Amino acid sequence: MPAAAQSWARRLAAYRTPIPSRSRFELLVTALPFAFFFTLSWWSLSISPWLSVGLSLTNAAFVIRLFVIQHDCGHGAFFSSRFWNEWCGRIIGGLTLTPYAMWKRNHALHHATTGNLDHRGTGDIPTLTITEYRAKPLVARLGYRLLRNPLVLFGLIAPFNFLIWNRVPPNPLKARRGEWKSALGTDAAIVAQLGSLYLLGGGPVLAFVYLPMMVLAAIVGTWLFYVQHQFEETYWTQDTNWTVQDASFSGSSHYVLPPVLAWSTGNIGAHHIHHLASRIPFYRLPEVLRDYGELNEVGRITIRQSLGCAKLALWDEVGCRLVSFSEARNLSA
Q: What whole-number distance in Å separates Cα of residue 73 and Cα of residue 90?
A: 9
The answer to whether residue 309 sits within a structural domain is no
Q: What whole-number distance in Å separates Cα of residue 171 and Cα of residue 176?
A: 9
Q: Pseudo-torsion of CA 51, 56, 58, 62, nearest 10°?
A: 160
The answer to whether residue 229 sits within a structural domain is no
Residue 268 per-residue DSSP state: T
Question: pTM above the 0.85 mark?
Answer: yes
The answer to whether residue 236 sits within a structural domain is no
The answer to whether residue 36 sits within a structural domain is yes
Task: Say if CB 229 and CB 125 are below 8 A apart.
Answer: yes
Q: What's the pLDDT at 95?
A: 96
Residue 259 lies in domain: 5-124+151-220+254-303
Could you tell me the mean pLDDT of each successive run of 10 residues in the chain, 333 residues long?
63 93 98 98 96 98 98 97 97 96 92 92 88 96 96 96 92 85 95 97 97 98 96 93 86 95 96 93 96 90 95 94 94 67
The answer to whether residue 232 sits within a structural domain is no
The answer to whether residue 325 sits within a structural domain is no
Q: How far is CA 182 from the centre of its chain?
A: 19
Q: What's the pLDDT at 333?
A: 53
Q: What's the pLDDT at 6?
A: 63
The answer to whether residue 313 sits within a structural domain is no
Q: Which amino acid is at 102?
A: M
**Short-list 240, 257, 298, CA closest to 8:** 298
Task: Say if CB 15 and CB 278 are below 8 A apart.
Answer: no
Beta-bridge partner residues of 315: 129, 322
Would you put residue 115 in left (φ > 0), alpha (ψ -120 to 50) or beta? left
Q: What's the pLDDT at 4?
A: 58
Per the structure, the count of domains in the chain is 1
Count of CB atoms situated within 10 Å of the CB of 216:
21
Q: What whole-number distance in Å separates Cα of residue 321 and Cα of residue 148?
A: 17
Task: Say if CB 51 and CB 44 are below 8 A apart.
Answer: yes
The answer to whether residue 231 sits within a structural domain is no
Would you put residue 290 in left (φ > 0), alpha (ψ -120 to 50) or beta? alpha
DSSP strand pairing (321-324 vs 312-316): antiparallel
DSSP strand pairing (300-301 vs 254-255): parallel
Q: What whole-number distance in Å separates Cα of residue 179 and Cα of residue 90?
A: 13
φ, ψ of residue 41 in degrees (nearest 5): -65, -40
Q: What whole-number distance in Å separates Cα of residue 305 and Cα of residue 328?
A: 20
